Chains A and B, each alone.
Chain A
């Protein structure tokens, strides 16, 4: 048989989307698989000339998936630019909103994107391998999953007031205090949300036990790991130093996130528009690392909430002293973080300062440059602004979570394709596993726009001369 190329391409209408090309050998095995991402960088230019206090309102428009992360990272950069650190109450409230974002995003990912694969199987009929199929199998769980996301959204809505873009964090603090009735309203649904997350964890662990063989051959590879930590190396999602560990788990760096450019650089590959960040001292590709839930739990030595910490100990035992390097354990890590976020909600709401009216620092000491870093659900998000003395933004640099994971996603796609795709007949379940390798990282590729209808996948098989042999659409 002739060598061929398979292309998996979501048909979308704008930049910022991914395409997978799988080059097959004449023997029907995979030669190499590539993940191509058309990076969208236009937003940085769009921000130039705006006032820095507008940025927390403008940058959430980058993305319909994680607007809160951009909102908060932008406000943190604005704090630095304006030289106005927020009062403690404002930091508590911002973190509370962030926890709402983590709960809704992680909850949706596990139960609605990953859950169908895990509960119904990678090879299940695509017509039922979705939430509706899940509903048929476990209706009660599906309703709880929707309620979990709603719980996170309600926290965001309570603080951000608006339905679309949050209006809450501003340079120097936040523009709204929390009322007792709002606090009680959030607390009312907290216990049920924690129970739902714990159910998810039970499902995940049960699935992992039954599918250990798959897990241990599905996108397993070593990298460094990168993310934010508390001062004593605990899991941190809102404010802390960046810790970087190597493939063996040894700390390479722990640095102030404002100095990120001293530690990371970006590599360019001819087959992707998205750059590949790496740790400068080790170079590329030795210095590549992973971010997001798997990265964060690998760099964290503990979690400062009891239930999540107990789960972290189980998670750590998988690696047996080394970082956990199986791609499918992103899902487990994601649920542990969701549990942490829910527990943090309780801690934050119990803090006597959280309902104070001291929410804004109006004294400015203009610095002109600011870096705001936050652990978005998908990984470390960096906003870096340089401004004129009047507060007008001159340059913007954004490094988004999906960018940090670019190498890892490409490697996972290649590894999974080589493991599971055996020609000449390429079955749907094989392609679904390749998609699942990307899904595990929960990339944000939708870039603020939406298309009527679904995002179909087209798999094209092309011979070495570029002639189309076969097209698979579903």
Chain B
């Protein structure tokens, strides 16, 4: 598996389960035996010159330029009860999705910007983990912690085997 992979986690680590992507990235970094940075503000090391881990508070338009440099991008985020699954791993395609009121971008929109502006169409994946509580707390709830471990395993298996399995874990 020689392709360049970006693991792009986003969320607010100060808002309890909203920050689950940060915890998942730490777990993946541990699984790859790379140093875990001391806080979400610090960058991760690159693994094997081909896998990069980035954590952001929110998705922004200019990340599309970064995305365009990779062959595959896996977005990692929390989701609410509107999606029943505890963990959901799916393939996603470039598609711009409107945000009616706010400066809010989706993974599909970022892929579309990479496609439209930089003529790059990396494979897109989204691994999302159910969040249960979004208070001003830095730790995850027990249920989200459990689901985060499953998400870590899904991502590591993909990296190790080169095969992304679409998954819905209840």
Instruction: Report which residue of A14, A108, A142, A451 has the largest number of chain B beta carbons within 10 angstroms of its beta carbon.
Output: A451
How far, in whole Å, are A94 and B57 apart by their CA atoms in the complex? 22
Please encode chain B, from 7 to 44, with 1 for each CB lying within 8 Å of some chain A CB and 0 for all others: 00011101100100000000000000000000011110
| Residues A149-181 near B (CB distance < 8 A) | 149-150, 153, 162-165, 167
With A164-B40, A449-B12 known as contacts, the answer to whether A14 contacts B100 (CB < 8 A) is: no
How far, in whole Å, are A29 and B79 apart by their CA atoms in the complex? 38
With A129-B98, A153-B62 known as contacts, the answer to whether A449 contacts B18 (CB < 8 A) is: yes
Q: Does B48 contact A (CB under 8 A)?
A: no
- The size class of the interface chain B forms with chain A is 35 or more
| Residues A28-69 near B (CB distance < 8 A) | 42-43, 46, 61, 64-65, 67
Q: Does A450 contact B (CB under 8 A)?
A: yes
Picked from B97, B103, B117, B135, the residue with its CB within 8 Å of the CB of A446 is B103
CB distance from B16 to the nearest CB of A (A): 9
How far, in whole Å, are A61 and B58 apart by their CA atoms in the complex? 12
How far, in whole Å, are A432 and B125 apart by their CA atoms in the complex? 30
Q: Does B147 contact A (CB under 8 A)?
A: no
Q: Does A287 contact B (CB under 8 A)?
A: no
- Identify which of B126-134, B151-159, B161-169 touches chain A: B126-134
CB distance from A131 to the nearest CB of B (A): 6
Instruction: Report which residue of A42, A132, A139, A153 has the largest number of chain B beta carbons within 10 angstroms of its beta carbon.
Output: A132
Which residue of chain A is the closest to B90 with respect to CB atoms?
A452
How far, in whole Å, are A167 and B40 apart by their CA atoms in the complex? 13
How far, in whole Å, are A167 and B126 apart by their CA atoms in the complex? 30
Q: Is B18's CB under 8 angstroms from A450's CB?
A: yes
Q: Does A143 contact B (CB under 8 A)?
A: yes
With A67-B57, A164-B56, A450-B10 known as contacts, the answer to whether A146 contacts B82 (CB < 8 A) is: no
How far, in whole Å, are A61 and B101 apart by their CA atoms in the complex? 20
Q: Is B101's CB under 8 angstroms from A10's CB?
A: yes
- The size class of the interface chain A forms with chain B is 35 or more
Please encode chain A, from 99 to 132, with 1 for each CB lying within 8 Å of some chain B CB and 0 for all others: 0000001001100110000000000001001111
How far, in whole Å, are A14 and B131 apart by their CA atoms in the complex? 11
Q: Is B99's CB under 8 angstroms from A455's CB?
A: yes
CB distance from B140 to the nearest CB of A (A): 14
Q: Is B136's CB under 8 angstroms from A46's CB?
A: yes
How far, in whole Å, are A131 and B42 apart by their CA atoms in the complex? 31
Q: Is B100's CB under 8 angstroms from A445's CB?
A: no
Q: Does A435 contact B (CB under 8 A)?
A: yes
CB distance from B11 to the nearest CB of A (A): 6
Please encode chain B, from 46 to 81, with 1 for each CB lying within 8 Å of some chain A CB and 0 for all others: 000000001111111110110000000000011110
Question: B128 contacts which chain A residues (CB < 8 A)?
Answer: 452
Question: A13 contacts which chain B residues (CB < 8 A)?
Answer: 80, 82, 131, 134
Q: Is B98's CB under 8 angstroms from A130's CB?
A: yes
Q: Is B99's CB under 8 angstroms from A454's CB?
A: yes
Q: Is A453's CB under 8 angstroms from B97's CB?
A: yes
Residues of A within 8 A of B (CB): 10-11, 13-14, 18, 42-43, 46, 61, 64-65, 67, 105, 108-109, 112-113, 126, 129-133, 135, 139, 142-143, 146, 149-150, 153, 162-165, 167, 435, 438-439, 443-446, 448-455, 457
Additional pairs, 13, CB under 8 Å, beyond known A64-B58, A149-B62? A64-B57, A113-B99, A132-B96, A162-B42, A163-B54, A439-B100, A443-B101, A448-B12, A449-B18, A450-B10, A451-B79, A455-B100, A457-B100
Sample 26 A-B pairs with CB under 8 A, ordered by A number: A10-B101, A13-B80, A18-B101, A46-B136, A61-B12, A64-B57, A65-B58, A113-B99, A132-B113, A135-B116, A135-B117, A149-B60, A150-B62, A163-B43, A164-B41, A164-B55, A443-B101, A444-B102, A445-B101, A445-B102, A446-B104, A448-B12, A449-B18, A452-B80, A454-B98, A457-B100
